[in-house]
Amino acid sequence: MSAPAKEEGAAPAKGHAAAAKDPYIEFAEKIYIQLASHVYSNFAAQNKPDPKALAAYCFKLVDAFEAASNETPRRLAEIEAIRKAAVKLDSVDLSSVFAASTANAAANTAAKAAAAAAAPAPAPAKK
């Protein structure tokens, strides 16, 4: 049997996974739906904004909300904790570690040389 032809513009099958939306866009979409329902349902209003302008305004509101949410005391405390926990390699002095490892390497080389000099000479092989 042949598969039925798909119509153009038909909705995708329910079995297909929907693409994940960006939370930024989802938040702007929620704001847009609420604003549009208030703005366009008021029949007495004469000056209704262009839907595209209203959508742009919603994205500006999302930007403002995100900026304000990063200035709350809780978020500032989180940012400060992350900053304090981060290791700044510029401020770490590792010269003592490298000096100690160089001194240990020199001492090991000297000890090996002394052990080799103190060891008895091998016995000659018997014929």
Q: What is the DSSP string of 108-124?
A: HHHHHHHHHHHSPPPPP
Instruction: Report which of 52, 29, 49 is spatially closest to residue 39, judged by C-alpha positions.
Output: 49
What is the pLDDT at residue 73?
93
Give the whole-angstrom CA distance, residue 35 versus residue 22.
Answer: 20
Q: Does the structure show a pLDDT above 80 at 53?
A: yes
Higher pLDDT, 5 or 125: 125
Q: How confident is the model at residue 47 (pLDDT cuts 50, 70, 90)?
A: confident
Q: How confident is the model at residue 60 (pLDDT cuts 50, 70, 90)?
A: very high
What is the pLDDT at residue 121?
62
> Can you tell me the mean pLDDT for 64-90?
89
Tokens of 15: 């079995």
Q: Are 31 and 58 in contact (CB under 8 A)?
A: yes
Predicted TM-score of the model (pTM): 0.48
